[in-house]
Amino acid sequence: MPYITVESGVLSDTQKEELMKRLTEISSEIMKIPQEFFVTTIKELPDKNFGIGGKTIDKVKAEYIQTHNKHI
């Protein structure tokens, strides 16, 4: 009974449905376990509650955009 969790920023309903569908398909294929046994949860967190390198994600994003000149 594999259990997959995704912690991320806010997502649309379509993204959530797509994620659960695709992650289950892929994992089922790799693990050789029927899809019906997979449980998935998505935990959406505000940018203020997510950090990398000790900085909140909104600051990481701003720096990334500046360096790479594209949005994330």
Applying CB under 8 A, the residues found at the interface with a copy of itself are 1-9, 11, 13, 15-28, 30-45, 48-57, 60, 72
Longest dimension (CA), the chain: 44
Query: CA 25, CA 67: separation in Å to the nearest integer?
Result: 35
- Two structure tokens written together for 36: 């019906």
Q: Judged by CB, which is closer to a copy of itself: 34, or 66?
A: 34
Look up residue 52 and give its two tokens: 């990398």
CB of 11 to a copy of itself, least distance (A): 7
Q: How far is the CB of 62 from a copy of itself (least distance, A)?
A: 14
